[in-house]
Structure 1
Amino acid sequence: MDGDPAVGSELDSFSLTFPLPYRVAFIVVLAVWAWGVNLHYLHLIKIDVPALIRYPGRSSPHHPPHHLSTYRFATVLTSVYAFSLLVFWAFTHRNPTLVIAWDWLPIAYLAVLLALFVVPSSFLGWVLPNKNSSSNPHHLLHLPSSGRARLRSMLKRIAVGGLAEAQDGKFGDILLADVATSYAKVLADLYVALCMFLRPDERGDGGATARPDRACGGTLVVPLVLAAPSAIRLRQCLIEYGRVRRGPLSRESGWGGQHLANALKYATAFPVIVFAALQRDRSSDDSRSYFNAWVVACAVNSLYSFYWDVAKDWDLTLFDGQALRSALSHPFGLRRRLHVGPPALYYAVIALDLLLRCTWSVKLSGRLGPYADAEGALFAVEFLEVFRRWVWIFFRVETEWIRSTSGPAAPGMNGSGGGLLGTIEENSVLLSDFEGGDLGKYEDED
């Protein structure tokens, strides 16, 4: 997709040390640690994430908290990852020939990583049949069987754009699918690594650890993989719209316009990917036209997504003119209830989100100008997007908690994710701020 030369070309220094399959695995393992930190901090500030996603609470005070179980699972993944990477370094010594010859090792780790996520605990118990509690493989490996089972069921549902009902964990499905959009490039790189492993080049010197060939399997496959997470979220938005239309029309539920606007946001990712793909193997005149269209598509996607993060996902009032004019009881552009941190933190996160939203749109298309062939630069941008999404989760979950605990009668609440005390779907105006403005929406925390 990036127009890389043949797979057998000389590897760059970064790829000699950190080949593509290990970079993919690193981001996945990092995501588990990041989720643990999300759970831990939100638990400390009294936000009950399991209740929001309809995950069963601990039946006994002797059971470890959810974040501790996540940390233990992340430790297992990290330990196996570190062992595999150290063995790879020990046998390859950054020698290009050896790096390519040992490509089976990182692929084997990816297989183990997948198994630890999705293989049922009953099967692991059969493979490692120590049945007493002290040597139970689940105890030794700290594999959270219920959490992994829940993840499997969610992945099966959202893989086809499905969405649970509010009482069955709709917010969890939305959260996971939103996270997947930030991992679109990671998923594409995973496909590239597997494709190169299964289809080495004609000279036989290619492989999963060779220079990434992002046209492997055809020029359309990688763009389709990149577009898949956004297509999943788009379908979820349309499902929510359909549910609102089939339900009784009321002031609280509205007519579903906000779900259509949200679907449009995810649709804006498609032109970014399409115009980037069309620029390749075209004449200079055609390429220039596609480039101009790509720039416009990037700007629309970045700014629309940034607006939605701030105004809809986080319920901040920065773009609400009426609320700004009457903002006497809360910090400028924010809201009254701020759980995550002081106002300065919210302002910093807003600025960071804008910056990284723009960067990610460029990366999603596979274009980084003079850095397009620098694998280290590509990896850095992927890492920054994962960091942005990690920060986003704190404020998205906080917003859902505020909506849920304020109750169905609280004016101005948008319950697009489903709440504990009832769901208020949206305002009847497509992109206007919620009824009641800021008055009565939040209460002081002092």
Structure 2
Amino acid sequence: MFDNPATNSPHLRKSGSKSLFVDPGVNGSVSEMGDLKGSSSPLHITTMVPSPIFLWRFKVVLFLFWALCCCKIGWDSVMRMSIDLRDLFLYEAFLYYNPLLLVTMMVWLWGVNLWVFSQGSVNYSKVFDLDHNHLTHREMWKCSMWLTIIVPTSMTAYLYLYSHGEVSLAASQPVLLYIAFALVLIFPFDIFYLSTRYFLLRTLWRIAFPLQPITFPDFFLADILTSMVKVFSDLERSVCRMVHRQVATIAWFEADAVCGSHQIAIPLVLVFPYICRLLQCLRQYKDTKEKSSLLNALKYSTAVPVIFLSALKYHVMADSWTSFYRPLWLFSSVINSLYSFYWDVTRDWDLSGFTKIFKFSRPSYISTLLYGRQWVYFWVIGSNLVLRCAWTYKLSAHLRHNYITVFTITAMEMLRRFQWIFFRVENEWNKITKSHPMGEISLEEDKLLGSTTTHDV
């Protein structure tokens, strides 16, 4: 009485074939299904899907082939230039692409930061007040991968075209690249992570004009920007040369050029992130009346004499620079380096929280390698001091022409900032967990996930 008449209907079976409907309670149903899969029935469709490991290996091989081609074409293009123009040729190419290469490196490192936080007990989304739709380390690495492909490809095209006499086409390469990046950043449509781009632009606006109460993402990003002042300096000079149509003109005499290395705009661009951070500290003191905000503002103010005294090298007599301004610049550099180092260790990191860093909720390779090892903390403190001093020295004006040295020091400063982020975010998370018990934090997260209105950041 419980038989399904549809299963016994002859209209649902082909002549000489088995039933398409199989009762799971009947013995032999599995074998019948196996016969069905192995039959030559037109209902059976075989699809060949490559394995994820194969796709990953194919992408790696393709990426290595592309990198090898870029290196080969770039090297041959440089060797085509005459010896007396080769260094200036490289210097100008590096000027245009150095900012975007450093930004690419910072995006890669930020993705590593997010990955480590996701493996551990630090809830970085709570620290930055993000919702569940924020970009993870996978999306950040995807963006950085595209940057890694696009920027060197444009640089290789610039070197190749200029060395083969196509000056106008070579000049268009960095211009088109900068325009494309600007358009993607301000694109108003809901593609390319619109909410994240809006969050970044809004935070940059709040940094430049600290008229509202300061939040953690505001001064966190501002601190990162102080490590990228070289990016803004080269970016200003590159845009200036593009506006004045001086791209791909290696015969320019830099000292007297409109966009040369001696112009007053360079120290102004270098000091701008420090001034923004100083104003943030003053605004924070106005809101909280904490004296530590004034001491933090004093720390950023010590960078101002370092930058402007260094710029005086090209605007004063050589004797005056050697006898008066250079010793004053060295003294201000030592003060800035030591003050910044002290603040990093005692305030931004809070040594009492060092024992929790790299303490993951589940075992991982990094936790086994780093957690509980004293050399990690000695390395972080020692390298922070050395790189702080090196970064202050990089602000010296006489290093502007040594683009390889400046790029190396800037990359090292980004590595210092990369390891600084771990302890800074960890310290902020410790403050949140102390002020709000974990039960309250979980309740707030449940309310956020259950809310119908979300804010994609």
TM surpasses 0.5: yes
Pairing 1:185–2:230 present: yes
Pairing 1:337–2:337 present: no
CA separation of 1:212 and 1:34: change in aligned 2, threshold 3 A: farther
CA separation of 1:115 and 1:199: change in aligned 2, threshold 3 A: same
Counterpart position of 1:242: 286
Counterpart position of 1:206: 249
Count of aligned pairs = 343
Deviation at residue 362 of structure 1 after TM alignment: 1.1
Residue pair 2:108, 2:141 contacting (<8 A) in 1 also: yes
Pairing 1:196–2:241 present: yes
Bigger Cα displacement from structure 2, 230-239 vs 359-368: 359-368
Give the 3-state SS of the residue equivalent to 1:47 in structure 2.
coil
Matches within 5 A, 1:228-377: 228-245=272-289, 256-288=290-322, 289-316=324-351, 335-339=354-358, 341-342=370-371, 343-368=374-399, 373-377=401-405
CA separation of 1:148 and 1:363: change in aligned 2, threshold 3 A: same
Deviation at residue 74 of structure 1 after TM alignment: 2.0
CA separation of 1:233 and 1:16: change in aligned 2, threshold 3 A: closer
Deviation at residue 303 of structure 1 after TM alignment: 0.5
Cα-to-partner distance string for 1:25-44 (whole Å, 9 max, x where unaligned): 11112222211111111111
Please, which runs of 5 or more residues in structure 1 have no aligned partner? 1-8, 59-63, 123-137, 246-255, 318-333, 410-418, 422-446
- Aligned-residue CA RMSD in angstroms? 3.0
Alpha-carbon distance in structure 2 between the residues aligned to 1:358 and 1:81: 30
Pairing 1:384–2:379 present: no
Aligned counterpart in structure 2 of residue 25 of structure 1, from 100, 107, 132:
100
CA separation of 1:88 and 1:264: change in aligned 2, threshold 3 A: same
Pairing 1:90–2:90 present: no
Alpha-carbon distance in structure 2 between the residues aligned to 1:220 and 1:17: 20
Alpha-carbon distance in structure 1 between the residues aligned to 2:167 and 2:302: 39
Aligned counterpart in structure 2 of residue 175 of structure 1, from 209, 215, 220:
220
Cα-to-partner distance string for 1:10-39 (whole Å, 9 max, x where unaligned): 451782695211111111122222111111
CA separation of 1:335 and 1:375: change in aligned 2, threshold 3 A: closer
Alpha-carbon distance in structure 1 between the residues aligned to 2:123 and 2:248: 52
Give the 3-state SS of the residue equivalent to 1:353 in structure 2.
helix
Bigger Cα displacement from structure 2, 375-384 vs 16-25: 16-25
CA separation of 1:235 and 1:16: change in aligned 2, threshold 3 A: closer
Counterpart position of 2:170: 102
Please, which runs of 5 or more residues in structure 2 have no aligned partner? 1-83, 360-369, 443-457
Alpha-carbon distance in structure 1 between the residues aligned to 2:384 and 2:180: 34
Alpha-carbon distance in structure 1 between the residues aligned to 2:338 and 2:232: 24
Q: What is the one-letter code of the residue matched to 2:345?
A: V
Counterpart position of 2:434: 406
Q: What is the one-letter code of the residue matched to 1:242?
A: K
Deviation at residue 67 of structure 1 after TM alignment: 1.4
Indicate the structure (1 or 2) with the bigger Cα radius of gyration: 2
Residue pair 1:14, 1:375 contacting (<8 A) in 2 also: no
Deviation at residue 120 of structure 1 after TM alignment: 2.4
Counterpart position of 1:159: 208
Alpha-carbon distance in structure 1 between the residues aligned to 2:167 and 2:227: 29
Give the 3-state SS of the residue equivalent to 2:314 in structure 1.
coil
TM-score by length of 2: 0.68
Alpha-carbon distance in structure 1 between the residues aligned to 2:254 and 2:207: 28
Deviation at residue 284 of structure 1 after TM alignment: 2.7
TM-score by length of 1: 0.70
Residue pair 2:274, 2:301 contacting (<8 A) in 1 also: yes
Counterpart position of 1:133: none
Residue pair 1:230, 1:269 contacting (<8 A) in 2 also: yes
Bigger Cα displacement from structure 2, 44-53 vs 172-181: 44-53
Deviation at residue 77 of structure 1 after TM alignment: 2.6
Q: Which one has a larger percent helix, Structure 1 or Structure 2?
A: 2
Alpha-carbon distance in structure 2 between the residues aligned to 1:261 and 1:100: 52
Counterpart position of 2:123: 48
Residue pair 2:224, 2:417 contacting (<8 A) in 1 also: yes
Counterpart position of 1:250: none
Q: What is the one-letter code of the residue matched to 1:117?
A: L
Pairing 1:68–2:96 present: no
